[in-house]
Amino acid sequence: MFWRKRAETQRTAAAVFDLKADPWARLSSVGLEIDGRTILQDLTLELREARIGIVGLNGSGKSSFIRLLNGLRQPTSGHLEIFGVDAALDPAALPRHVGFVFQNPDHQAIFPIVEEDVAFGLTQLGRPRDEALAAARTFLVDHGAGHLAARPIADLSEGQKQLVAILAVLIMQPAVILLDEPFSALDGLAGRRLQEWLAALPQRLVLISHDRAHLQGFERILWIEDGRLRGDGDPATVLAAYDREIERRATLAGPGGWSEGHL
């Protein structure tokens, strides 16, 4: 079938894509509407840097934006290319190249037991279940989480759940990992450990965070406001502009008030 053939071409293209030479994502006038409401609009940009941070007020469209990048959502206008091929051709194939770590690990876990959940990604890649389980156990041990392998995810602390959620993505060896506020449930120490651990990963990372300590060392910041790209560039410039805007809006709203359009 023609479609299947094109999807196969896409997988092959993604597998041989040269990350060093080309941007892994190209967006051209991309927009997203949900139920007739505009969530994202007019996004034209390329992503290639090793560390890209995303900032923006609550509800500005950050999560929706990164969901486009691994096929959880599809643009309703414009054109999106991931690894050089049209993202609309085979969105289900994208997660193997672009991993997604959810803000709430409970939304990500599919199986009740840690090792089963970590093995799931490998079974999705075609590995037999027993082999995937054995590989998951080894992977957990190698990443200092062997003691969690047989435990129910529901019984873990938030930090442990977050670690398992990241390992469940990492075991698939995606070229890019998207992280939606992975620090939000972590205490300061767990957050520091996660930050150091993420910094050492060879993958390209795109990280949404409200805390700029977590964006230290990042090469590029995207600032999304009301579904549009309001700022894009080096962290010092973009974050300073973002801070000024927060200050301006806080002053407009007055103590205890919510500014128009926010939340």
Ligand X SMILES: Nc1ncnc2c1ncn2[C@@H]1O[C@H](COP(=O)(O)OP(=O)(O)OP(=O)(O)O)[C@@H](O)[C@H]1O
Spatial CB neighbours of 21, under 8 Å, sequence gap ≥ 6 = none
Considering the rule CB under 6 A, would residue 104 count as an interface residue with ligand X? no
Work out which of 13, 17, 49, 64 binds ligand X, going by CB under 6 A. Answer: 64
Considering the rule CB under 6 A, would residue 163 count as an interface residue with ligand X? no
Query: Nearest CA to 182 among 156, 206, 155, 204?
Result: 206
Considering the rule CB under 6 A, would residue 56 count as an interface residue with ligand X? yes
Phi, psi of 5, deg, nearest 5: -65, -40
Work out which of 15, 34, 213, 253 binds ligand X, going by CB under 6 A. Answer: 34
Considering the rule CB under 6 A, would residue 63 count as an interface residue with ligand X? yes
Count how many Cα atoms sit within 13 Å of the Cα of residue 195 in the half-sphere of its side chain. 20
Q: Are 223 and 55 spatial neighbours (Cβ–Cβ below 8 Å)?
A: yes
Q: Site for ligand X (CB under 6 A): how many residues?
A: 11
Considering the rule CB under 6 A, would residue 59 count as an interface residue with ligand X? yes
Cβ distance to ligand X smaller for residue 71 or 121? 71
Least separation in angstroms between residue 103's CB and ligand X is 7
Least separation in angstroms between residue 162's CB and ligand X is 16
Least separation in angstroms between residue 60's CB and ligand X is 4
Q: What would the DSSP string read from start to end of 97-130?
A: TEEEE-SSGGGT--SSBHHHHHHHHHHHTT--HH
Alpha carbon distance 57, 262 (integer Å): 8
Contact residues for ligand X (CB under 6 A)? 34-35, 39, 56, 58-64
